[in-house]
Chains A and B, each alone.
Chain A
Amino acid sequence: MNDSTPHEHAHHGPSPYVIFGILLGLLVATVAVYYVDLGTLGLAVAMGIAIAKAGLILTYFMHLLHEQPLTRLFAASGFASLAILLIILLADVASRMGT
């Protein structure tokens, strides 16, 4: 009963309450940004905040960086495929703008 892996030991990272507090702070920030006129930068800032929140959840709640390399590769394959889809699609849309 004692063959537990390193993954099963408590992670000595920041307290989940601290991460939760940062996530709430970023939520306040993203709503606040809406009321500040940033023009076309608004979308970039909102997505930057969302990516930061997602990164915190993946790192500190899902412990992705502590998983074995194959698991991280599987996780990365999903996000990399999505990135390819979005980049090529948006390049196509951008190239048709104004025609």
Chain B
Amino acid sequence: MSTATDHGHDAGPGFLAHHFDDRSQQREAATLGMWAFLATEVLFFGGLFAGYAAYRFSYPDAWVEGSQHLSIPLGTINTTVLLTSSLTVVLAIEAVKRGDRRELVRQLLFTIGLAVVFVGIKGYEYASKFAEGHVPGSAFHLAHPHNPDVPVDQVELFFVLYFIMTGLHAFHMVVGIVLFGVYTWLASKGRYDEHYHTPIENIGLYWHFVDVVWVFLFPLLYLIAP
């Protein structure tokens, strides 16, 4: 593949694939592809939000009852953790644009740490749901209902959506942790600099998107006022 017009791909950080005219075209193609993926993600989660909306309007009392069995303090802490991880991603991208690789790796490690804290708190919440019998299935029951008039199977439906929506979100978090691990390793080897850092920008877009999903999940699941 070594021709006169070869742009020297695989020539270390900042390489340009031979099918692009210049680096800005290459970067725009990658960003466009990332947003195409995120548009499908909007609809992936969107279908669940649509199902949530339809059943919330059909069974408003069951949604209030179910929400009261979730911990607002834990949900608030997790929202803070996730918003903070979005900030560290922004700081990581600013660092690599300055060519500061040490700061890039540091901020990526902060991000991974915050993501692990989020998933850990989520796991603790799931464990208490299993212990309390709030997991949909034959063992589902409400030992201490706030409103005994609400049919239990409607509350169970709330928890079906709670587990699928937060579960799909937590899955995205775990995928993000693995990807951040790979990029942190590559960054520590000097793969990214002020000229080439599109992969860091794109994992950042993914992470902010996961944050946006949680921004909607938190009030819709945890904060349903009676």
* Residues of A bordering B, CB below 8 Å: 1, 3-5, 7-8, 10, 16-17, 20, 23-24, 27, 30-31, 33-34, 37-38, 42, 46-47, 49-50, 53-54, 57-58, 61-62, 67-68, 70-71, 74-75, 77-79, 81-82, 85-86, 89-90, 93-94, 97
Contacts and interface: CB of A to CB of B under 8 A. Distances in A.
Contacts of B208: 57-58, 61-62
Nearest to B213: A54
9 residue pairs, one from A and one from B, having the closest CB atoms: A78-B39, A5-B24, A78-B42, A82-B46, A46-B219, A34-B223, A16-B90, A74-B35, A20-B87
B38 A78 contact: yes
B195 interface: yes
A97 to B, nearest CB: 7
Nearest to B51: A89
Interface residues of B, number: 51
Given A20-B83, A62-B208, A89-B54, A8 B27 contact: yes
Chain A binding surface, main DSSP class: helix
A82 B86 contact: no
Nearest to A67: B31
A62 B211 CA distance: 11
Nearest to B41: A78
Interface of B: 14, 22-24, 27-28, 31-32, 35-36, 38-43, 46-47, 49-50, 53-54, 57-58, 72, 76, 79-80, 83-84, 86-87, 89-91, 94, 97, 195, 204-205, 208-209, 211-212, 215-216, 218-220, 223, 225
